[in-house]
Structure 1
Amino acid sequence: MSATFHKMHGNGNDFVLLDLRAQDYALDSNGVRAMADRHRGVGFDQLLVLYPPTTATALARVEIWNADGSRAEQCGNGMRCIADYLHRQGEAGDDPFSVEGPVETIHMAWIEPGMTRVDMGRPAFGPDAVPTNLVPNGDEYSLDIDGATCRFGAVSMGNPHVVIRVEHAATAPVARLGPAIGHHPAFPRGCNVGFAEITSRTGIRLRVHERGAAETAACGSGACAAVAVLQRAGLLDDEVEVVQNGGRLIIGRNADTGSIWMTGPAAHVFQGMIE
Protein backbone atom coordinates (compact mmCIF):
# COMPACT_ATOMS: atom_id res chain seq x y z
CA MET A 1 0.00 0.00 0.00
CA SER A 2 1.36 3.43 -0.93
CA ALA A 3 0.14 7.02 -0.86
CA THR A 4 1.23 10.47 -1.98
CA PHE A 5 2.18 12.86 0.80
CA HIS A 6 3.16 16.51 1.05
CA LYS A 7 5.91 17.86 3.31
CA MET A 8 5.02 21.33 4.63
CA HIS A 9 5.99 23.67 7.44
CA GLY A 10 4.76 26.76 9.24
CA ASN A 11 7.68 28.74 10.67
CA GLY A 12 9.72 25.54 10.90
CA ASN A 13 7.02 23.54 12.68
CA ASP A 14 7.00 20.75 10.10
CA PHE A 15 4.31 18.36 8.90
CA VAL A 16 3.51 15.53 6.60
CA LEU A 17 0.10 16.10 5.03
CA LEU A 18 -1.62 12.92 3.87
CA ASP A 19 -4.75 13.51 1.79
CA LEU A 20 -6.87 10.37 2.10
CA ARG A 21 -9.97 11.75 0.46
CA ALA A 22 -9.16 9.95 -2.78
CA GLN A 23 -6.50 7.40 -1.74
CA ASP A 24 -6.21 4.75 0.97
CA TYR A 25 -3.51 4.32 3.57
CA ALA A 26 -3.81 2.47 6.90
CA LEU A 27 -2.59 4.39 9.95
CA ASP A 28 -1.79 3.30 13.48
CA SER A 29 0.54 4.56 16.21
CA ASN A 30 3.47 2.35 15.17
CA GLY A 31 3.18 3.42 11.55
CA VAL A 32 2.98 7.11 12.52
CA ARG A 33 6.10 6.84 14.69
CA ALA A 34 7.98 5.13 11.86
CA MET A 35 6.93 7.84 9.41
CA ALA A 36 7.99 10.54 11.89
CA ASP A 37 11.52 9.12 12.30
CA ARG A 38 13.85 11.74 10.85
CA HIS A 39 16.51 9.17 9.92
CA ARG A 40 14.48 6.19 8.70
CA GLY A 41 11.19 7.86 7.78
CA VAL A 42 10.07 11.21 6.40
CA GLY A 43 10.23 13.15 9.65
CA PHE A 44 7.73 15.61 11.11
CA ASP A 45 6.42 17.22 14.28
CA GLN A 46 2.81 16.34 13.38
CA LEU A 47 1.01 14.29 10.75
CA LEU A 48 -2.03 15.98 9.16
CA VAL A 49 -4.54 13.58 7.60
CA LEU A 50 -7.44 14.73 5.42
CA TYR A 51 -10.59 12.61 5.08
CA PRO A 52 -13.88 13.31 3.29
CA PRO A 53 -16.00 15.77 5.32
CA THR A 54 -19.21 14.75 7.05
CA THR A 55 -20.90 18.10 6.33
CA ALA A 56 -21.56 19.89 3.06
CA THR A 57 -20.03 23.15 4.29
CA ALA A 58 -16.53 21.78 4.99
CA LEU A 59 -13.85 20.89 2.44
CA ALA A 60 -12.32 18.09 4.52
CA ARG A 61 -12.22 16.38 7.90
CA VAL A 62 -8.85 16.64 9.66
CA GLU A 63 -7.07 14.15 11.91
CA ILE A 64 -3.84 15.13 13.71
CA TRP A 65 -1.14 12.76 14.98
CA ASN A 66 1.93 13.72 17.04
CA ALA A 67 5.36 12.36 16.21
CA ASP A 68 5.15 9.92 19.14
CA GLY A 69 2.03 8.29 17.70
CA SER A 70 -0.45 10.04 19.99
CA ARG A 71 -3.42 12.09 18.78
CA ALA A 72 -3.71 15.88 18.97
CA GLU A 73 -6.87 17.99 19.13
CA GLN A 74 -5.50 21.13 17.46
CA CYS A 75 -2.49 22.43 15.54
CA GLY A 76 -2.44 26.07 14.53
CA ASN A 77 0.57 25.96 12.19
CA GLY A 78 -0.79 22.77 10.69
CA MET A 79 -4.16 24.37 9.99
CA ARG A 80 -2.44 27.19 8.12
CA CYS A 81 -0.62 24.59 6.03
CA ILE A 82 -3.92 22.85 5.31
CA ALA A 83 -5.38 26.19 4.19
CA ASP A 84 -2.43 26.70 1.85
CA TYR A 85 -2.71 23.14 0.50
CA LEU A 86 -6.44 23.41 -0.24
CA HIS A 87 -5.87 26.70 -2.04
CA ARG A 88 -2.98 25.21 -4.04
CA GLN A 89 -5.26 22.32 -5.02
CA GLY A 90 -7.81 24.79 -6.38
CA GLU A 91 -10.46 23.72 -3.85
CA ALA A 92 -10.47 27.02 -1.96
CA GLY A 93 -10.59 30.50 -3.40
CA ASP A 94 -10.12 33.91 -1.84
CA ASP A 95 -13.25 33.63 0.33
CA PRO A 96 -13.05 32.06 3.82
CA PHE A 97 -13.62 28.30 3.98
CA SER A 98 -13.71 25.63 6.67
CA VAL A 99 -12.58 22.13 7.64
CA GLU A 100 -13.84 19.80 10.35
CA GLY A 101 -11.18 19.66 13.06
CA PRO A 102 -10.80 16.95 15.70
CA VAL A 103 -12.77 19.10 18.18
CA GLU A 104 -14.78 21.63 16.15
CA THR A 105 -15.15 23.25 12.73
CA ILE A 106 -12.19 25.49 11.91
CA HIS A 107 -12.57 28.54 9.68
CA MET A 108 -9.63 29.72 7.62
CA ALA A 109 -8.65 31.91 4.69
CA TRP A 110 -5.89 32.21 2.10
CA ILE A 111 -4.38 35.72 2.26
CA GLU A 112 -1.63 35.66 -0.38
CA PRO A 113 1.00 33.18 -1.61
CA GLY A 114 2.55 31.58 1.47
CA MET A 115 0.34 33.45 3.94
CA THR A 116 -2.89 32.17 5.52
CA ARG A 117 -5.20 33.02 8.43
CA VAL A 118 -7.02 30.69 10.82
CA ASP A 119 -9.78 31.42 13.33
CA MET A 120 -8.64 29.43 16.37
CA GLY A 121 -11.88 29.96 18.30
CA ARG A 122 -12.48 31.26 21.80
CA PRO A 123 -9.98 30.36 24.52
CA ALA A 124 -11.46 28.36 27.41
CA PHE A 125 -9.92 29.07 30.82
CA GLY A 126 -11.92 26.88 33.20
CA PRO A 127 -10.09 23.95 34.86
CA ASP A 128 -12.55 21.46 33.35
CA ALA A 129 -11.96 22.90 29.86
CA VAL A 130 -8.14 22.79 29.98
CA PRO A 131 -8.44 20.12 31.52
CA THR A 132 -6.60 20.15 34.83
CA ASN A 133 -7.40 18.93 38.32
CA LEU A 134 -5.58 21.94 39.81
CA VAL A 135 -7.58 24.66 41.56
CA PRO A 136 -6.72 28.17 40.33
CA ASN A 137 -5.92 31.11 42.57
CA GLY A 138 -7.58 33.84 40.54
CA ASP A 139 -6.22 33.44 37.01
CA GLU A 140 -3.10 31.58 38.16
CA TYR A 141 -2.18 27.98 38.93
CA SER A 142 0.85 26.61 40.75
CA LEU A 143 2.76 23.34 40.93
CA ASP A 144 5.74 22.21 42.99
CA ILE A 145 8.43 21.00 40.58
CA ASP A 146 11.73 19.74 42.00
CA GLY A 147 11.12 21.55 45.29
CA ALA A 148 10.28 24.90 43.69
CA THR A 149 6.89 26.49 43.08
CA CYS A 150 6.10 27.15 39.43
CA ARG A 151 3.25 29.60 38.68
CA PHE A 152 1.47 29.77 35.34
CA GLY A 153 -1.73 30.37 33.43
CA ALA A 154 -3.62 27.58 31.68
CA VAL A 155 -6.05 27.59 28.77
CA SER A 156 -7.57 25.35 26.15
CA MET A 157 -7.29 26.39 22.49
CA GLY A 158 -8.96 23.12 21.56
CA ASN A 159 -5.87 21.50 23.10
CA PRO A 160 -4.41 22.07 26.60
CA HIS A 161 -1.76 24.74 27.23
CA VAL A 162 0.24 26.04 30.17
CA VAL A 163 1.79 29.50 29.80
CA ILE A 164 4.72 30.55 32.02
CA ARG A 165 5.88 34.15 31.99
CA VAL A 166 9.71 34.38 31.92
CA GLU A 167 12.28 37.19 31.90
CA HIS A 168 14.14 35.81 28.89
CA ALA A 169 12.71 33.18 26.56
CA ALA A 170 16.18 32.33 25.22
CA THR A 171 17.33 31.02 28.61
CA ALA A 172 13.99 29.59 29.82
CA PRO A 173 14.19 26.03 31.28
CA VAL A 174 12.16 24.53 28.42
CA ALA A 175 13.91 21.15 28.40
CA ARG A 176 13.45 20.71 32.16
CA LEU A 177 10.07 22.22 32.97
CA GLY A 178 8.41 21.43 29.63
CA PRO A 179 8.17 17.66 30.08
CA ALA A 180 7.87 17.89 33.89
CA ILE A 181 4.67 19.95 33.60
CA GLY A 182 3.50 18.55 30.28
CA HIS A 183 3.33 15.01 31.65
CA HIS A 184 2.30 15.88 35.21
CA PRO A 185 -0.73 14.00 36.61
CA ALA A 186 -2.38 17.38 37.21
CA PHE A 187 -3.09 17.39 33.46
CA PRO A 188 -4.94 14.16 32.63
CA ARG A 189 -4.50 14.63 28.86
CA GLY A 190 -1.04 16.16 29.17
CA CYS A 191 -0.40 19.73 28.01
CA ASN A 192 1.78 21.95 25.87
CA VAL A 193 4.00 24.27 27.89
CA GLY A 194 4.84 27.77 26.65
CA PHE A 195 7.53 30.12 28.00
CA ALA A 196 6.61 33.72 27.16
CA GLU A 197 8.75 36.84 27.42
CA ILE A 198 6.83 40.11 27.08
CA THR A 199 8.77 42.61 25.00
CA SER A 200 6.01 45.26 24.67
CA ARG A 201 2.23 45.65 24.80
CA THR A 202 2.18 44.34 21.22
CA GLY A 203 4.97 41.76 21.24
CA ILE A 204 6.21 38.59 22.95
CA ARG A 205 8.96 36.05 22.44
CA LEU A 206 7.87 32.45 22.93
CA ARG A 207 9.23 28.93 23.15
CA VAL A 208 6.91 25.91 23.44
CA HIS A 209 7.44 22.34 24.55
CA GLU A 210 4.75 20.47 22.63
CA ARG A 211 3.02 17.43 24.03
CA GLY A 212 4.05 14.48 21.88
CA ALA A 213 6.81 16.33 19.97
CA ALA A 214 9.15 18.09 22.52
CA GLU A 215 10.24 21.67 21.74
CA THR A 216 9.35 22.76 18.22
CA ALA A 217 10.55 25.73 16.15
CA ALA A 218 7.07 27.21 16.39
CA CYS A 219 3.65 26.35 17.82
CA GLY A 220 0.58 28.11 16.45
CA SER A 221 -1.90 27.06 19.12
CA GLY A 222 0.80 27.79 21.72
CA ALA A 223 1.17 31.33 20.36
CA CYS A 224 -2.61 31.82 20.61
CA ALA A 225 -2.63 30.38 24.14
CA ALA A 226 0.20 32.64 25.33
CA VAL A 227 -1.48 35.75 23.94
CA ALA A 228 -4.87 34.74 25.38
CA VAL A 229 -3.46 34.19 28.88
CA LEU A 230 -1.44 37.42 28.86
CA GLN A 231 -4.31 39.45 27.41
CA ARG A 232 -6.56 38.11 30.15
CA ALA A 233 -4.02 39.40 32.66
CA GLY A 234 -4.19 42.83 31.02
CA LEU A 235 -0.57 42.72 29.83
CA LEU A 236 -1.09 42.78 26.05
CA ASP A 237 -3.13 44.71 23.49
CA ASP A 238 -5.66 43.12 21.12
CA GLU A 239 -3.12 42.45 18.33
CA VAL A 240 0.27 40.94 19.15
CA GLU A 241 3.34 39.84 17.20
CA VAL A 242 4.65 36.52 18.52
CA VAL A 243 8.30 35.78 17.74
CA GLN A 244 9.38 32.14 17.94
CA ASN A 245 12.62 30.48 16.89
CA GLY A 246 11.05 29.54 13.55
CA GLY A 247 9.50 32.90 12.69
CA ARG A 248 6.71 35.36 13.44
CA LEU A 249 2.93 35.16 13.80
CA ILE A 250 0.32 37.86 14.23
CA ILE A 251 -2.26 36.91 16.85
CA GLY A 252 -5.39 39.02 17.20
CA ARG A 253 -8.53 38.96 19.32
CA ASN A 254 -11.99 39.69 17.98
CA ALA A 255 -13.41 42.10 20.56
CA ASP A 256 -17.00 41.18 19.64
CA THR A 257 -16.77 37.37 19.67
CA GLY A 258 -13.71 36.78 21.86
CA SER A 259 -12.22 34.43 19.27
CA ILE A 260 -8.50 34.35 18.52
CA TRP A 261 -7.25 34.56 14.95
CA MET A 262 -3.77 33.78 13.72
CA THR A 263 -2.01 34.98 10.57
CA GLY A 264 1.31 33.59 9.39
CA PRO A 265 3.31 31.76 6.74
CA ALA A 266 2.80 28.26 5.34
CA ALA A 267 5.27 26.59 2.98
CA HIS A 268 5.11 23.53 0.72
CA VAL A 269 8.51 21.83 0.69
CA PHE A 270 8.09 18.73 -1.49
CA GLN A 271 5.75 15.95 -2.57
CA GLY A 272 6.62 12.26 -2.24
CA MET A 273 5.33 8.71 -2.09
CA ILE A 274 5.29 6.61 1.07
CA GLU A 275 4.90 2.84 1.25
Structure 2
Amino acid sequence: MLLRKKFIFFFKMHGLGNDFVLIYSKKYLLFSSELIKKWSNRFLGIGFDQLLLIQKKKNNKAQFYYRIFNSNGIEVEQCGNGARCVAYYLFLKKKIKEKKICVSTNNRYLFLEHIKKNIFKVDMGTPIFTPKNIPFITKTEKFFYSIIFNKKKYFFSVVTLGNPHCVIQVNNLKNFPVKKVGSYISNNILFPEGVNVGFMQIISKKKILLRVYERHVGETNACGSGACAAVAIGIRNKLLSNHVVVKLLYGKLKIFWNGILGDTLYMSGKASHVYDGYIKY
Protein backbone atom coordinates (compact mmCIF):
# COMPACT_ATOMS: atom_id res chain seq x y z
CA MET A 1 0.00 0.00 0.00
CA LEU A 2 1.54 3.31 -1.07
CA LEU A 3 0.86 6.78 0.32
CA ARG A 4 1.17 9.44 -2.40
CA LYS A 5 3.76 7.17 -4.00
CA LYS A 6 6.42 8.57 -1.64
CA PHE A 7 5.90 6.54 1.52
CA ILE A 8 5.19 2.90 2.33
CA PHE A 9 3.46 1.61 5.45
CA PHE A 10 5.15 -1.06 7.56
CA PHE A 11 4.44 -3.07 10.69
CA LYS A 12 7.32 -3.66 13.16
CA MET A 13 7.20 -6.97 15.05
CA HIS A 14 9.41 -9.48 16.80
CA GLY A 15 9.38 -13.10 17.83
CA LEU A 16 11.47 -13.50 21.00
CA GLY A 17 13.73 -10.63 19.95
CA ASN A 18 14.12 -11.80 16.34
CA ASP A 19 12.68 -8.67 14.72
CA PHE A 20 10.89 -8.02 11.45
CA VAL A 21 9.36 -5.37 9.28
CA LEU A 22 6.16 -6.56 7.59
CA ILE A 23 4.79 -4.88 4.50
CA TYR A 24 1.40 -5.83 3.10
CA SER A 25 0.43 -5.06 -0.47
CA LYS A 26 -2.17 -6.38 -2.88
CA LYS A 27 0.11 -5.22 -5.68
CA TYR A 28 3.41 -6.84 -6.59
CA LEU A 29 6.32 -5.03 -4.93
CA LEU A 30 10.03 -5.60 -5.41
CA PHE A 31 12.72 -3.89 -3.36
CA SER A 32 16.41 -3.80 -4.25
CA SER A 33 18.96 -5.36 -1.89
CA GLU A 34 20.47 -1.89 -1.42
CA LEU A 35 17.12 -0.50 -0.23
CA ILE A 36 16.57 -3.43 2.15
CA LYS A 37 20.08 -2.94 3.59
CA LYS A 38 19.30 0.75 4.10
CA TRP A 39 16.01 0.06 5.86
CA SER A 40 17.50 -2.70 8.04
CA ASN A 41 20.30 -0.48 9.37
CA ARG A 42 19.70 -0.03 13.10
CA PHE A 43 21.28 3.43 13.19
CA LEU A 44 20.22 4.97 9.86
CA GLY A 45 17.05 3.02 9.05
CA ILE A 46 14.24 1.14 10.80
CA GLY A 47 16.37 -1.77 11.96
CA PHE A 48 15.36 -5.43 11.54
CA ASP A 49 16.65 -8.95 11.04
CA GLN A 50 14.30 -9.70 8.15
CA LEU A 51 11.78 -8.06 5.85
CA LEU A 52 8.52 -9.98 5.34
CA LEU A 53 6.62 -8.96 2.24
CA ILE A 54 3.01 -10.19 2.32
CA GLN A 55 1.28 -10.27 -1.08
CA LYS A 56 -1.84 -11.67 -2.67
CA LYS A 57 -2.15 -15.44 -2.86
CA LYS A 58 -0.78 -17.36 -5.82
CA ASN A 59 -3.42 -20.09 -5.76
CA ASN A 60 -6.54 -21.24 -3.94
CA LYS A 61 -4.71 -23.45 -1.43
CA ALA A 62 -3.12 -20.58 0.50
CA GLN A 63 -4.89 -17.46 1.73
CA PHE A 64 -1.71 -15.37 1.60
CA TYR A 65 1.75 -15.52 0.05
CA TYR A 66 4.83 -13.89 1.55
CA ARG A 67 8.52 -13.51 0.79
CA ILE A 68 11.39 -13.39 3.28
CA PHE A 69 14.48 -11.18 2.91
CA ASN A 70 17.47 -11.08 5.26
CA SER A 71 18.82 -7.71 6.37
CA ASN A 72 21.49 -7.89 3.64
CA GLY A 73 18.80 -8.11 0.94
CA ILE A 74 19.21 -11.83 0.19
CA GLU A 75 15.94 -13.74 -0.14
CA VAL A 76 15.60 -16.90 1.99
CA GLU A 77 13.08 -19.71 2.15
CA GLN A 78 11.90 -20.11 5.73
CA CYS A 79 11.62 -18.36 9.10
CA GLY A 80 9.71 -19.82 12.03
CA ASN A 81 9.57 -16.63 14.12
CA GLY A 82 8.54 -14.70 11.03
CA ALA A 83 5.69 -17.12 10.35
CA ARG A 84 4.21 -16.43 13.79
CA CYS A 85 4.55 -12.69 13.21
CA VAL A 86 2.78 -12.99 9.85
CA ALA A 87 -0.07 -14.82 11.57
CA TYR A 88 -0.28 -12.18 14.32
CA TYR A 89 -0.28 -9.35 11.77
CA LEU A 90 -3.15 -10.93 9.83
CA PHE A 91 -5.03 -11.45 13.11
CA LEU A 92 -4.49 -7.90 14.42
CA LYS A 93 -5.38 -6.27 11.11
CA LYS A 94 -8.51 -8.45 10.88
CA LYS A 95 -7.53 -9.84 7.51
CA ILE A 96 -8.49 -13.32 8.72
CA LYS A 97 -11.36 -14.67 10.78
CA GLU A 98 -10.38 -18.33 10.99
CA LYS A 99 -8.24 -19.77 13.79
CA LYS A 100 -6.31 -21.86 11.26
CA ILE A 101 -5.00 -20.54 7.94
CA CYS A 102 -2.64 -21.60 5.18
CA VAL A 103 0.06 -19.32 3.78
CA SER A 104 2.71 -20.01 1.18
CA THR A 105 6.36 -19.03 0.80
CA ASN A 106 8.72 -19.57 -2.12
CA ASN A 107 9.15 -23.27 -1.43
CA ARG A 108 6.32 -24.51 0.80
CA TYR A 109 2.95 -24.14 2.45
CA LEU A 110 2.69 -23.26 6.14
CA PHE A 111 -0.33 -23.88 8.34
CA LEU A 112 -0.72 -21.31 11.13
CA GLU A 113 -3.04 -21.62 14.14
CA HIS A 114 -4.05 -18.97 16.67
CA ILE A 115 -3.83 -20.60 20.12
CA LYS A 116 -4.62 -17.62 22.40
CA LYS A 117 -3.78 -13.92 22.65
CA ASN A 118 -0.42 -13.53 20.86
CA ILE A 119 0.56 -17.21 20.87
CA PHE A 120 0.57 -19.06 17.55
CA LYS A 121 1.30 -22.59 16.42
CA VAL A 122 3.08 -23.26 13.14
CA ASP A 123 3.11 -26.43 11.08
CA MET A 124 6.78 -26.33 10.07
CA GLY A 125 6.58 -29.24 7.66
CA THR A 126 8.70 -32.37 7.59
CA PRO A 127 12.33 -32.48 8.76
CA ILE A 128 14.52 -33.83 5.96
CA PHE A 129 17.98 -35.18 6.77
CA THR A 130 19.16 -36.17 3.28
CA PRO A 131 22.42 -34.26 2.57
CA LYS A 132 21.56 -33.34 -1.04
CA ASN A 133 18.38 -31.63 0.18
CA ILE A 134 20.25 -29.39 2.65
CA PRO A 135 22.40 -29.06 0.45
CA PHE A 136 25.49 -30.54 2.15
CA ILE A 137 28.40 -32.16 0.30
CA THR A 138 29.26 -35.62 1.62
CA LYS A 139 29.80 -39.10 0.19
CA THR A 140 27.51 -40.92 2.61
CA GLU A 141 24.54 -40.01 4.78
CA LYS A 142 25.22 -40.26 8.53
CA PHE A 143 23.68 -39.20 11.81
CA PHE A 144 26.84 -37.24 12.69
CA TYR A 145 29.51 -35.54 10.59
CA SER A 146 32.66 -33.74 11.68
CA ILE A 147 34.67 -30.67 10.74
CA ILE A 148 37.99 -29.29 12.03
CA PHE A 149 38.36 -25.62 12.95
CA ASN A 150 41.40 -24.18 14.75
CA LYS A 151 42.74 -27.73 15.27
CA LYS A 152 39.56 -28.80 17.08
CA LYS A 153 37.05 -31.33 15.76
CA TYR A 154 33.36 -30.47 15.95
CA PHE A 155 30.63 -33.07 15.43
CA PHE A 156 27.36 -31.94 13.86
CA SER A 157 24.14 -33.12 12.24
CA VAL A 158 22.23 -31.57 9.34
CA VAL A 159 18.56 -31.07 8.51
CA THR A 160 16.31 -28.87 6.42
CA LEU A 161 12.84 -27.55 7.20
CA GLY A 162 12.73 -25.41 4.10
CA ASN A 163 16.10 -23.85 4.91
CA PRO A 164 19.44 -25.50 5.77
CA HIS A 165 20.56 -26.17 9.34
CA CYS A 166 23.64 -27.64 11.00
CA VAL A 167 23.41 -28.39 14.74
CA ILE A 168 26.27 -28.88 17.22
CA GLN A 169 25.80 -30.09 20.78
CA VAL A 170 27.88 -28.16 23.33
CA ASN A 171 28.45 -28.50 27.08
CA ASN A 172 28.59 -24.79 28.00
CA LEU A 173 26.62 -22.57 25.66
CA LYS A 174 27.34 -19.33 27.51
CA ASN A 175 31.10 -19.47 26.91
CA PHE A 176 31.07 -21.14 23.50
CA PRO A 177 32.67 -19.16 20.59
CA VAL A 178 29.43 -19.05 18.58
CA LYS A 179 30.52 -16.25 16.24
CA LYS A 180 33.87 -17.79 15.23
CA VAL A 181 32.72 -21.38 14.80
CA GLY A 182 29.36 -20.35 13.35
CA SER A 183 30.92 -18.09 10.74
CA TYR A 184 33.43 -20.76 9.68
CA ILE A 185 30.83 -23.48 9.22
CA SER A 186 28.12 -21.24 7.78
CA ASN A 187 30.43 -20.15 4.96
CA ASN A 188 32.18 -23.49 4.44
CA ILE A 189 32.31 -24.94 0.92
CA LEU A 190 30.61 -28.10 2.24
CA PHE A 191 27.41 -26.03 2.29
CA PRO A 192 27.03 -24.58 -1.23
CA GLU A 193 24.10 -22.34 -0.22
CA GLY A 194 25.39 -21.54 3.27
CA VAL A 195 23.85 -22.93 6.45
CA ASN A 196 22.32 -21.79 9.73
CA VAL A 197 24.45 -23.14 12.57
CA GLY A 198 22.73 -24.02 15.85
CA PHE A 199 24.57 -24.59 19.12
CA MET A 200 22.50 -26.73 21.49
CA GLN A 201 23.04 -27.37 25.20
CA ILE A 202 20.80 -30.14 26.49
CA ILE A 203 19.44 -29.49 30.00
CA SER A 204 17.11 -32.49 30.03
CA LYS A 205 15.25 -34.61 27.50
CA LYS A 206 12.50 -31.98 27.57
CA LYS A 207 14.54 -28.75 27.64
CA ILE A 208 17.46 -27.27 25.70
CA LEU A 209 19.30 -23.96 25.48
CA LEU A 210 20.04 -22.68 21.97
CA ARG A 211 22.04 -20.03 20.15
CA VAL A 212 21.98 -19.74 16.36
CA TYR A 213 24.41 -18.21 13.87
CA GLU A 214 22.24 -17.47 10.83
CA ARG A 215 23.69 -17.52 7.33
CA HIS A 216 24.33 -14.11 5.75
CA VAL A 217 23.42 -12.43 9.08
CA GLY A 218 25.37 -13.68 12.10
CA GLU A 219 24.02 -14.58 15.53
CA THR A 220 20.42 -13.47 16.14
CA ASN A 221 18.40 -13.24 19.35
CA ALA A 222 16.21 -16.15 18.27
CA CYS A 223 15.70 -18.46 15.31
CA GLY A 224 12.43 -20.36 15.08
CA SER A 225 13.44 -22.76 12.33
CA GLY A 226 16.77 -23.23 14.15
CA ALA A 227 14.88 -24.28 17.29
CA CYS A 228 12.89 -26.78 15.21
CA ALA A 229 16.07 -28.09 13.58
CA ALA A 230 17.83 -28.59 16.92
CA VAL A 231 14.88 -30.50 18.38
CA ALA A 232 14.41 -32.62 15.25
CA ILE A 233 18.07 -33.64 15.35
CA GLY A 234 17.93 -34.26 19.10
CA ILE A 235 14.89 -36.52 18.69
CA ARG A 236 16.39 -38.36 15.73
CA ASN A 237 19.57 -39.00 17.72
CA LYS A 238 17.47 -40.18 20.71
CA LEU A 239 18.68 -37.36 22.94
CA LEU A 240 15.33 -35.60 23.39
CA SER A 241 11.68 -36.48 23.96
CA ASN A 242 8.89 -35.65 21.52
CA HIS A 243 7.89 -32.48 23.40
CA VAL A 244 10.73 -30.01 24.00
CA VAL A 245 11.00 -26.47 25.36
CA VAL A 246 13.71 -24.45 23.63
CA LYS A 247 15.09 -21.57 25.72
CA LEU A 248 16.47 -18.69 23.68
CA LEU A 249 17.84 -15.32 24.78
CA TYR A 250 14.46 -13.54 25.04
CA GLY A 251 11.99 -16.35 25.60
CA LYS A 252 11.04 -19.90 24.79
CA LEU A 253 9.45 -21.98 22.08
CA LYS A 254 7.61 -25.28 22.37
CA ILE A 255 8.43 -27.90 19.74
CA PHE A 256 6.67 -31.20 19.06
CA TRP A 257 7.69 -33.95 16.64
CA ASN A 258 6.84 -37.64 16.91
CA GLY A 259 10.20 -38.61 15.41
CA ILE A 260 8.71 -40.43 12.44
CA LEU A 261 10.32 -39.53 9.11
CA GLY A 262 7.75 -37.91 6.84
CA ASP A 263 5.61 -36.58 9.70
CA THR A 264 5.09 -32.92 10.53
CA LEU A 265 6.94 -30.93 13.20
CA TYR A 266 5.08 -28.21 15.13
CA MET A 267 6.33 -25.04 16.82
CA SER A 268 4.40 -22.70 19.11
CA GLY A 269 5.36 -19.43 20.76
CA LYS A 270 4.70 -15.72 21.10
CA ALA A 271 4.67 -12.97 18.49
CA SER A 272 4.87 -9.30 19.51
CA HIS A 273 3.76 -6.08 17.84
CA VAL A 274 6.10 -3.13 18.40
CA TYR A 275 4.66 -0.28 16.30
CA ASP A 276 3.23 0.80 12.94
CA GLY A 277 4.99 3.33 10.75
CA TYR A 278 5.80 4.51 7.27
CA ILE A 279 9.03 5.25 5.46
CA LYS A 280 10.09 6.98 2.27
CA TYR A 281 10.19 4.69 -0.74
Q: TM-score, normalised by structure 1?
A: 0.96
| 1:112-141 CA-partner distances (Å, limit 9, x unpaired) | 111111000000100111111124563011
Runs of 5+ in structure 1 lacking a partner? none
- Would the alpha carbon gap of residues 254 and 21 (structure 1) be closer, same or farther in structure 2, given more than 3 Å must change? farther
Task: Output the CA distance in 2 between the equivalents of 1:194 and 1:117.
Answer: 21
- Pairing partner for 1:81 from 85, 89, 96: 85
Aligned CA-pair RMSD:
1.4
- Would the alpha carbon gap of residues 255 and 134 (structure 1) be closer, same or farther in structure 2, given more than 3 Å must change? closer
Q: Report the number of matched residues.
A: 274
Task: Output the CA distance in 2 between the equivalents of 1:26 and 1:97.
Answer: 25
Q: Which residue of 2 aligns with 1:183?
A: 187
Percent of pairs with identical residues? 38
| 1:25-47 CA-partner distances (Å, limit 9, x unpaired) | 54011111111100011010111
Q: Which residue of 2 aligns with 1:270?
A: 275
- Pairing partner for 1:108 from 104, 108, 112: 112
Q: What is the CA distance between 1:146 and its match in structure 2?
A: 2.4
Task: Output the CA distance in 1 between the equivalents of 2:193 and 2:139.
Answer: 16
Contact 1:130 1:159 survives alignment (8 Å): yes
Q: Which residue of 1 aligns with 2:263?
A: 258
Give, as a single letter, the amino acid of the residue that structure 2 aligns with 1:70.
I
Q: Which residue of 2 aligns with 1:170?
A: 174
| 1:84-143 CA-partner distances (Å, limit 9, x unpaired) | 111112222343111111211111111111111100000010011111112456301111
| 1:125-183 CA-partner distances (Å, limit 9, x unpaired) | 00111111124563011112222222100100100000000002111210111110001
Q: TM-score, normalised by structure 2?
A: 0.94
Contact 1:155 1:229 survives alignment (8 Å): yes
Which shifted more, 63-72 or 252-261? 252-261
- Pairing partner for 2:144 from 123, 133, 140: 140
Task: Output the CA distance in 1 between the equivalents of 2:73 and 2:83.
Answer: 19
Contact 1:3 1:25 survives alignment (8 Å): no
Task: Output the CA distance in 1 between the equivalents of 2:148 and 2:141.
Answer: 15
Task: Output the CA distance in 2 between the equivalents of 1:66 and 1:220.
Answer: 14
Give, as a single letter, the amino acid of the residue that structure 1 aligns with 2:211.
R
